[in-house]
Amino acid sequence: MSVNQHTHAGPPYGQPQPGYQGYQQPAYGGQPLPGVPHTQYGAYNGPMPGYQQPVPPQGSVRALPTSGAPPPASGTSLPSGHQGYSQFGQGDVQNGIPTSTAPMQRPPASQPFLPGSAPAPVSQPSTFQQYGPPPSSVQQLSNHMAGMTIGSTSISAPPPAGLGYGPPTSVPPVSGSFSATGSGLYAPYTASQGPPPPSVPQGLPLAQPPFSGQPVPTQRLPTEVPGFAPPPSSTGIGPSSYPPSTGPHPGPPMSGLHGPPPPTHPPQPGYQMQQNGSFGQVRGPQPNYSGAYPGTPNYGSQPGPPPKRLDPDSIPSPQLNELPPQQKPRHRIDPDAIPSPIQVIEDDRSNRGSEPFVTGVRGQVPPLVTTNFLVEDQGNASPRYIRCTSYNIPCTSDMAKQSQVPLAAVIKPLATLPPEETLPYLVDHGESGPVRCNRCKAYMCPFMQFIEGGRRFQCCFCSCVTEVPAHYFQHLDHTGKRVDFYDRPELSLGSYEFLATVDYCKNNKFPSPPAFIFMIDVSYNAVKSGLVRLICEELKSILDYLPREGNMEESAIRVGFVTYNKVLHFYNVKSSLAQPQMMVVSDVADMFVPLLDGFLVNVNESRTVIASLLDQIPEMFADTRETETVFGPVIQAGLEALKAAECAGKLFIFHTSLPIAEAPGKLKNRDDKKLINTDKEKTLFQPQTSFYSNLAKDCVAQGCCVDLFLFPNQYLDVATLGVVTYQTGGSIYKYAYFQLETDQDRFLNDLRRDVQKEVGFDAVMRVRTSTGIRATDFFGAFYMSNTTDVEMAGLDCDKTITVEFKHDDKLSEDSGALLQCALLYTSCAGQRRLRIHNLSLNCCTQLADLYRNCETDTLINYLAKYAYRGVLNSPVKAVRDSLINQCAQILACYRKNCASPSSAGQLILPECMKLLPVYLNCVLKSDVLQPGPEVTTDDRAYIRQLVTSMDVAETNVFFYPRLLPLTKADVDSDSLPAAIRNSEERLSKGDIYLLENGLNIFVWVGVNVQQALIQNLFGVSSFSQISSTLSTLPVLENPFSKKVRSIIDMLHLQRSRYMKLIIVKQEDKLEMLFKHFLVEDKSLTGGASYVDFLCHMHKEIRQLLS
């Protein structure tokens, strides 16, 4: 390989460079952080500056990014989008190709290094060392709610010493009515009265009776939580069923409900079987669950009211396990009697999973994300593209404020559809482009009203009347519908695409196909861990799978390669070369690309040269001693290369360490966990320099999306390194303490998926709304240069943007509310397109209608993103408190305005929100908002960034992981075993469980698992021989092994990231980590148990009502 090292011809190293200075202009310093709330919102429906121009309707009417213009002020005042785009190319000239007279220099491998600088062998700690030892004192275990006075009239006893947040022991005020709500959850109670009700429809809010005027016990709405109010004796549970408030209860209440029905029904025997609190109870994995269904024997055979169900032992936490049973404090609340996520999920599956969700009706609440269902587009966007917190919006802002229910949509514009569903049709309106409203520029959609015989149409968003272009004219039928209604996707479907005209392109020029640039850290750690060799090997094959459009034979995407440590190496892989050529740029202070021709190439044409390069890279750097890396210049180099090639693209950066080498964007180690729980904690989430934010802005202007693969052995400041990734719409992956043997599968699967997945480049998204509401806030991985347009250098099929809406006028029940999301993007073949999603919502004047049409999973998605952004600016405790307060207000408003009058001692939850407390508690306990000692600052920044782009399904499983009893799986069926609740008490030591949260899969093995099962799954003969370091299960030829592996494969297919497999043996030290995910339990880091949190929420609600 020939090597050119170009020295920079400009000013000396380290001095300010003219080009570089541009990044530091003060004008850019004021750029808001990503996700920081925008305070200025122009009138949403008012025309944007670009729209004020008297351009023809099909003209460049979208507000185009203006970020490329040097001073933001002038950029935003550009008279038209064309000019905005024309600014983009102007930076290119600063970084010309260096002259060929640059002196040749030695290859990096022969560069001298100081003997003393050789790094010590890098110790590779076990992957789990990041999770340190558990807290040593019980004080540390006291949860964050310890400071909240639980003692109210109903909850007064102080917790036992050492249990920071002990369960209350007093009896709550007896308030009479217990409502046997329609949820199967309460079947145990009704069972005592007789057989359970025959399959009551559940989870269908629309089918439920009105809120008012009906006696509570006959309502299925709302959910009342027993324990907060003892049910009347007619339900089988009277006050006497509660543990007496004095002294420990003699018997273990739970066993009767959970153990094998007949023998353990009397409390006592079951209790004595119990060892260490939880595992001893021979509980089927979810007897409560299956038993909750009508017709199951468990409950029907119960002779009497389930006594003493309200027992604290039912939620053992680790420290409780150490106590002898008699000393355990008592809960009043039976975990089986409070709303169960599993029950809600299963109910929705059985009620809504069998029929397609047809989108023809306004304001329909879709099935839950956990339900498998097909969608039929009949005029509204599929819930795979848009999900809302509520499908019925209050008519006035006063109502909205009163309820405190956030109005938000989680939008995934390029979501992948199952093969059974139809991809959005591509509509070509010809040279004049898509038909749009003259005033608000909304795109033609099913809700536009054609009038005057079809000659004009009235906009459904702004009511303006627009002439129908001659080429688009069509007659109307007797109902006023165009006769070509069903022939045109934009008239009959919720989602479709328009082919964009040149007016929608930068510089009035159709884009070139995008490019992928692979940028590999070749410093000591990367080489020694085998990472560099692994990446190079993988790239050889993965390049054959670059995204292709439709039926194209080969991908239009060109590729380029860079390696780097303290300096950058560019490679010429032109097809005509016999060998690749390396060009070294050692002056990283003013990055330029030393070659244009031959850097970005077609894979097929340059196949041999690329293969040769990828073979040589690991050899070239095999003996490197260079430990320092740069990072900013790497992104700059990729950006400059795309600028020079005049295309958008994606950088794949594989990076290992904190960039401490002298260069723009150099960072220092500023990690300080002592800041946790102080007012300065927010700085841990903020970038340490504005350099990357400024760089991100330039990247967005060019359509340069940055995907980051991190392999840290120590702190590398994800909060700062992730800024460009975040603001360009890229993805970040982190493999702490990367070890080839255990982590390569995960990394390679992630890389393959990341390279192959559908992505739109140079994207701009705008959400239009009908009069009365407007989009006011946005969450996700993107950049905004104004208050309405979400800009993303790249937007892939996994990314969501969450949009919040506020009222700016009254809405009407008749007309409802409309959303139109328009995404302008460049496809992987370089085609400019617009993807349109429309959604119509109902509007209500009664709060009950709002509460009946909410979607809690989406609400949690929004609340988590809102909170995770809040930690950038506010103390974490304040963020947690405000979350609790908002949810308490939501529930209090329901109680006050929608629920039937009842005793204040009752907690009454709206049916659609009955899981709000349990899910909210999971958000509050998450690593970002309440880190344990083992969670690193980088972990928190990483999680914060991931969650911000997650869709509703991902946040659902991330915050409330899925726990499957593997030993209950039917090896003869394709189905998954029914999930169980995330609590230690649900685990039996004779079983094996799988827990997944979208990032990890744990396989937990009980100490008493039969030897045969262990042999079948792990190929070893005893529990003690199971290795905790396995990263995959051995491939064994028996039904159980096949079944478990097929379950794991199935789970991997459902997630956008390859999950890390972790084997956890009961009572092993790794179990601490596993228990962290048993989110209904009190957590070791101080998070409340579900039951305790529900008590707390109840108290908060009562305070608001009193």
Q: How many residues bind Zn ion (CB under 5 A)?
A: 8
Q: Cβ of residue 46: shortest distance to Zn ion, in angstroms? A: 12
Nearest residue to 237 via CA among 168, 304, 291, 154 = 304
Nearest residue to 915 via CA among 290, 178, 223 = 223
Name the one range near Zn ion by CB under 5 A: 309-317, 431-439, 530-538, 606-614: 431-439
> Please, which residue, 770 or 858, has the CB nearer to Zn ion?
770
Q: Cβ of residue 861: shortest distance to Zn ion, in angstroms? A: 29
Residue 459 binds to Zn ion (criterion: CB under 5 A): yes
Structure tokens given for 248: 């420990």
> Please, which residue, 462 or 759, has the CB nearer to Zn ion?
462
d(CA 428, CA 966) in angstroms, rounded, equals 51
> Please, which residue, 56 or 239, has the CB nearer to Zn ion?
56
Backbone angles phi, psi at 527, to 5 degrees: -75, -45
3-state helix, strand, coil in the chain (%, to 5): 35, 15, 50
Q: Which residues 542-601 are close enough to bind Zn ion by CB under 5 A?
A: none
Name the one range near Zn ion by CB under 5 A: 132-140, 213-221, 429-437, 444-452: 429-437
Q: Cβ of residue 863: shortest distance to Zn ion, in angstroms? A: 32
d(CA 807, CA 281) in angstroms, rounded, equals 53
Nearest residue to 885 via CA among 682, 1096, 1106 = 1096
> Please, which residue, 56 or 71, has the CB nearer to Zn ion?
56
Name the one range near Zn ion by CB under 5 A: 206-214, 248-256, 459-467, 776-784: 459-467
> Please, which residue, 52 or 422, has the CB nearer to Zn ion?
52
Q: Cβ of residue 44: shortest distance to Zn ion, in angstroms? A: 12
The single residue among 36, 104, 423, 464 that binds Zn ion, judged by CB under 5 A, is 464
> Please, which residue, 342 or 841, has the CB nearer to Zn ion?
841
d(CA 811, CA 817) in angstroms, rounded, equals 7
Peptide bond into 253 cis (omega under 30): no
Name the one range near Zn ion by CB under 5 A: 440-448, 590-598, 839-847, 1061-1069: 440-448
Name the one range near Zn ion by CB under 5 A: 157-165, 274-282, 437-445, 1018-1026: 437-445
SS3 assignment, position 569: strand
The single residue among 186, 461, 504, 868 that binds Zn ion, judged by CB under 5 A, is 461
Name the one range near Zn ion by CB under 5 A: 436-444, 631-639, 736-744, 1062-1070: 436-444
Q: Cβ of residue 433: shortest distance to Zn ion, in angstroms? A: 16
DSSP state of 771: T
> Please, which residue, 439 or 981, has the CB nearer to Zn ion?
439
Q: Cβ of residue 548: shortest distance to Zn ion, in angstroms? A: 37
Name the one range near Zn ion by CB under 5 A: 455-463, 655-663, 736-744, 940-948: 455-463
Q: Cβ of residue 811: shortest distance to Zn ion, in angstroms? A: 17
Q: Looking up tokens 């956008």, which residue turns up?
A: 1056
Name the one range near Zn ion by CB under 5 A: 106-114, 159-167, 453-461, 555-563: 453-461
- For residues 214-241, b (16+ Cβ closer than 10 Å) or e, as one string? eebbebbbbbbbbbbbbbbeebbbeeeb
Name the one range near Zn ion by CB under 5 A: 83-91, 237-245, 463-471, 985-993: 463-471
User: What sign for the dihedral angle of Cα 527, 529, 530, 536?
Assistant: negative
> Please, which residue, 57 or 248, has the CB nearer to Zn ion?
57
d(CA 228, CA 226) in angstroms, rounded, equals 5
| CA R_g for the chain | 30
Convert residues 275-294 into a mask of x (bound to Zn ion by CB under 5 A) and - (unbound): --------------------
Phi-psi group of 535: left, alpha or beta (phi > 0 → left; psi -120 to 50 → alpha; rest → beta): alpha
Residue 1012 binds to Zn ion (criterion: CB under 5 A): no
Q: Which residues 161-200 are close enough to bind Zn ion by CB under 5 A?
A: none
Q: Cβ of residue 57: shortest distance to Zn ion, in angstroms? A: 11
Check if the beta carbon of residue 588 is closer than 8 Å to that of residue 635.
Answer: no
Residue 440 binds to Zn ion (criterion: CB under 5 A): yes
> Please, which residue, 461 or 958, has the CB nearer to Zn ion?
461
Name the one range near Zn ion by CB under 5 A: 201-209, 442-450, 670-678, 1014-1022: 442-450
DSSP state of 1055: S
The single residue among 155, 462, 642, 943 that binds Zn ion, judged by CB under 5 A, is 462
Q: Which residues 325-344 are close enough to bind Zn ion by CB under 5 A?
A: none
Question: SS3 for 775-838, per residue?
Answer: EEEEECCCECCCCCCEEEEEEECCCCEEEEEEECCCCCCCCCEEEEEEEEEECCCCCEEEEEEE
Q: Cβ of residue 81: shortest distance to Zn ion, in angstroms? A: 18
Residue 43 binds to Zn ion (criterion: CB under 5 A): no
Residue 437 binds to Zn ion (criterion: CB under 5 A): yes
Q: Cβ of residue 828: shortest distance to Zn ion, in angstroms? A: 32
d(CA 896, CA 1104) in angstroms, rounded, equals 10
Nearest residue to 764 via CA among 719, 701, 711 = 701
Q: Cβ of residue 498: shortest distance to Zn ion, in angstroms? A: 16
Sequence-separated (6 or more) residues with CB below 8 Å from residue 803: 408, 409, 411, 767, 775, 777, 778, 779
Nearest residue to 18 via CA among 93, 98, 86 = 93
Peptide bond into 931 cis (omega under 30): no
The amino acid occupying position 407 is L
Residue 51 binds to Zn ion (criterion: CB under 5 A): no
Sequence-separated (6 or more) residues with CB below 8 Å from residue 577: 598, 609
Bridge partners of 467, per DSSP, are 456
Check if the beta carbon of residue 640 is closer than 8 Å to that of residue 588.
Answer: no
Name the one range near Zn ion by CB under 5 A: 18-26, 438-446, 785-793, 938-946: 438-446
Q: Cβ of residue 461: shortest distance to Zn ion, in angstroms? A: 5
Name the one range near Zn ion by CB under 5 A: 27-35, 435-443, 999-1007, 1066-1074: 435-443
d(CA 537, CA 514) in angstroms, rounded, equals 23
Q: Cβ of residue 460: shortest distance to Zn ion, in angstroms? A: 8
Residue 541, exposed/middle/buried by CB under 10 A (0-12, 13-18, 19+)? Answer: exposed
Q: Cβ of residue 803: shortest distance to Zn ion, in angstroms? A: 19
* C-alpha dist (Å) from residue 459 to 391, 437, 807, 812: 22, 6, 19, 16
Name the one range near Zn ion by CB under 5 A: 457-465, 581-589, 634-642, 990-998: 457-465
Q: Which helix (H) or strand (E) holds 1052?
A: helix 1039-1054
> Please, which residue, 61 or 1009, has the CB nearer to Zn ion?
61
> Please, which residue, 464 or 1007, has the CB nearer to Zn ion?
464
Q: Which residues 867-906 are close enough to bind Zn ion by CB under 5 A?
A: none
Q: Cβ of residue 818: shortest distance to Zn ion, in angstroms? A: 11
Apex 93 CA angle, 87 and 95, nearest 5: 125
Q: Which residues 345-384 are close enough to bind Zn ion by CB under 5 A?
A: none
Apex 962 CA angle, 957 and 966, nearest 5: 155
Residue 652 binds to Zn ion (criterion: CB under 5 A): no
> Please, which residue, 440 or 651, has the CB nearer to Zn ion?
440
Structure tokens given for 571: 């490679």
Q: Cβ of residue 466: shortest distance to Zn ion, in angstroms? A: 8
Structure tokens given for 679: 């007012």
> Please, which residue, 442 or 522, has the CB nearer to Zn ion?
442
Q: Which residues 925-954 are close enough to bind Zn ion by CB under 5 A?
A: none
> Please, which residue, 460 or 493, has the CB nearer to Zn ion?
460
> Please, which residue, 442 or 539, has the CB nearer to Zn ion?
442
d(CA 94, CA 720) in angstroms, rounded, equals 26
Check if the beta carbon of residue 823 is closer than 8 Å to that of residue 491.
Answer: no
* Residues engaged in binding Zn ion (CB under 5 A): 437, 439-440, 442, 459, 461-462, 464
